[in-house]
Structure 1
Amino acid sequence: MKRKLFLLFVGLMVIFVLSACGSKSQEDVVKELNSKLGDLNSYKVNAKMTLQMGAEPQVYEVEIWHKDPTYYRVNLKNAKQDQSQMILRNDEGVYVLTPALNKSFKFQSDWPQNSSQAYLYESLIKDIIEDKEAKFESTKDHYVFETKTRYQNNKMLPVQEIKLNKKDLSPAMVKVMDVDHNALVTVEFSKVKFNASFDKDDFDMKKNMTGAQLGLPAMAQVNAKEFAVKYPTTEIPGVSLIEEKEVSFEDGKRVILTYDGEKSFTLIQEMAQAVTTTGAATYVKGEPVDLGFTVGALTDRSITWTQDGVDYMIASNDLSPEEMVNIARSVQGDGIK
């Protein structure tokens, strides 16, 4: 009897050892990711991005194209409101396109090299490689990493969980979390195609603008005279809304919200005007900053962005760039007044 128990014990130990030998360590997976990053020539990815930064979740369909070394095309579409915006990078620079308004803005920027990007595969790999204190878990189908993010001017989203498929190390899901580990941005990847092929002009600004405008409503329908005023849902201690002023124009209105207290800032909202002629992109000072639902232009004293046909600007001599970004991300509905 003892002999049988001993042989059973030995057999279980052998199975355990063999199983352990078959599983990859964190170092093994990081090494493979490093190799994959070096061989990454191109890809096409579809994903669903959910934001939990406002009163209600906002869901966006995201289509990402990348061609080595610096060609990018990221199409963000609001699943409910049929609004879209595109980030484009080619040899000429970085562009943000708003097809419904026939507008294009150009940045001189290193985007996306200068910070984390939850929907860009190579950015996720870099986050994993560069964080020497990353946590690691191996499940049945996935490798799961918890890493620090590399967002600029943003302590609101310091950590992320990156889930990779074991089969080919493709991205499965990313959760970008706040200091309490609440997921504020979730990206679920549905289609990943490596070594994708592209036509010569797939990253051309004019071609993408024209293609994105097909099937859109007429510009006059987009430019309604009225819009719902939105307020930040992020609260800054000691700061409150002291004035709300509306200025009427023949073709719309401008709403100016003034906040004051320990720090002061102004939030301006105005119906965006469509461009009726196709011309060169407007050069924008500042850095493109990912707000999740759109891309803004960030300087030391202001941040501007367009959402759902409305132009927004936050201006302040007191707020840090990080604080302006956090407030901008929370301007999504009825909030703190």
Structure 2
Amino acid sequence: MKKQIVIRMMIALGFVLLLAACGEKSQEEVLDKLESKLEEMNGYKAKAEMKMNTGQEGQTYKIDVWHKKKDFYRVALKNAKDDKGSQIILKNEEGVFVLSPALNKSFKFQKEWPENGSQPYLFQSLVNDVAKDKDATFKAGEKYYIFQTETNYQSNNNLPYQKIYFDKKTYTPVMVKVLDKDKNPLVEVAFSEFNTSPEFKKGDFEMEKNMSAGASDSAVSGDGKTDAFSVVIPFYMAGSELTKQKEIELENGKRVIMTFSGDKNFTLVEEKNDVVPTTTSPQFVNGEIVNLGHSVGALSGNAIEWTNNGVNFYLASDELTEAELIKVAKSVKRKEVK
């Protein structure tokens, strides 16, 4: 009898040890593994699709991410609804740039990006958000480790949370869902490829090479001329309306200045060149990069600049808050002035 009890106890103990050996990793262990992987890697290349439902109509981006340790980044974003070429966020030893190669236009920023906010398509940003949030929740699924954390979007406080899915075998990101205050997903990033042993060529992170390579998606025809200019106005006008519109013929195109008056006054300038300039110097911006959904813009003080469908836009106001300025800019699309 005693022998049977001992055998049963040994079997039970064996099951306990087996379960312990096969048990899931804790939140702390997974985070340690993620941080170790980041430290060990010399860089990565990733492909992803980002869907944004933060405006009047959804936007979809194809994204190519290149990162070379320690501080070199190249993020190419191709908007499915903008056939005028991609934009590239580039960081190298000279600074941070937003490039629009098809228009030969570029902005230069201070070097805080990407550390100054959440970036749902950058591996290190996701891991940093997990590490910084002491109240992050954690769940181990069948294939993924899932974290829910707070975000840090300086220019958009309407997206306070994110849910991040890491592959349990490779510890690389698979999916990111950025959530609104009601935990509804408004931005989704789905990774289709993630190469942790990439090869880079000389010049991959140089501005000149990326401008010339991206120009193959140019908005110009064979004779160098751009498409027709259609003036558009915002869907969201912050309680104002279009009260004045002035057209100025330029030597190489047209500029339209629109004045909106009402609850919050603002000015919107749209400009299009008939021929893409051959050489330009980066325009320095003492501000930050902001994703407007339809394009990537430069936010500085009380103004935002961006390019979309071959048109240069400049929005400024002394009365709009920063959040309202971004909201107006996001809504400037596909509503033509009659």
Q: Is this a same-fold pair by TM over 0.5? A: yes
Q: 1:271 touches 1:311 (CA, 8 Å); kept in 2?
A: yes
Distance change (3 Å), C-alpha of 1:189 and 1:281 = same
Tell me the equivalent position of 1:247.
Answer: 247
Q: Distance between the aligned counterparts of 1:265 and 1:16, measured in 2?
A: 68
Q: 2:34 touches 2:127 (CA, 8 Å); kept in 1?
A: yes
Distance change (3 Å), C-alpha of 1:302 and 1:216 = closer
Q: 2:268 touches 2:316 (CA, 8 Å); kept in 1?
A: yes
Are 2:90 and 1:94 aligned? no
Q: Distance between the aligned counterparts of 1:19 and 1:62, measured in 2?
A: 41
TM-score of the pair, normalised by structure 1: 0.86
Are 2:151 and 1:149 aligned? yes
Tell me the equivalent position of 2:70.
Answer: 69
| Residue 123 of structure 1, aligned match among 112, 122, 125 | 125
Q: Unaligned stretches of 5+ in structure 2?
A: none
Q: Distance between the aligned counterparts of 2:141 and 2:194, measured in 1?
A: 20
Q: 1:46 touches 1:190 (CA, 8 Å); kept in 2?
A: yes
Question: Which segment drifts farther, 210-219 or 13-22?
Answer: 13-22
Q: Unaligned stretches of 5+ in structure 1?
A: none
Tell me the equivalent position of 1:294.
Answer: 295
Deviation at 1:257, TM superposition (A): 4.4
For residues 290-325 of structure 1, give each alpha carbon's deviation from its aligned partner in whole angstroms, at most 9, with x where no partner exists: 334422111221111111112222212222323322
Q: Distance between the aligned counterparts of 1:232 and 1:94, measured in 2?
A: 31
> Residue type matched to 2:212 in 1?
T
Tell me the equivalent position of 1:227.
Answer: 230
Tell me the equivalent position of 2:45.
Answer: 44
Distance change (3 Å), C-alpha of 1:54 and 1:96 = same
Tell me the equivalent position of 2:326.
Answer: 325
Tell me the equivalent position of 2:36.
Answer: 35
Q: 2:103 touches 2:219 (CA, 8 Å); kept in 1?
A: no
State the identity %: 41
Deviation at 1:40, TM superposition (A): 3.1
Cα-Cα RMSD: 2.8
Q: Distance between the aligned counterparts of 1:19 and 1:259, measured in 2?
A: 68
TM-score of the pair, normalised by structure 2: 0.86
State how 1:1-337 maps to structure 2 within 5 Å. Answer: 14=15, 18=19, 22-82=23-83, 83-214=85-216, 216-218=218-220, 223-233=226-236, 236=238, 239-249=239-249, 251-261=253-263, 263-271=264-272, 275-334=276-335
Distance change (3 Å), C-alpha of 1:252 and 1:225 = farther
Q: 1:258 touches 1:266 (CA, 8 Å); kept in 2?
A: yes
Question: Which segment drifts farther, 112-121 or 274-283?
Answer: 274-283
Deviation at 1:97, TM superposition (A): 1.2
> Residue type matched to 2:227 in 1?
A
Distance change (3 Å), C-alpha of 1:285 and 1:274 = farther
Q: Distance between the aligned counterparts of 1:185 and 1:77, measured in 2?
A: 16
Q: What is the total number of aligned residue pairs between the two structures?
A: 324
> Residue type matched to 1:115 in 2?
G
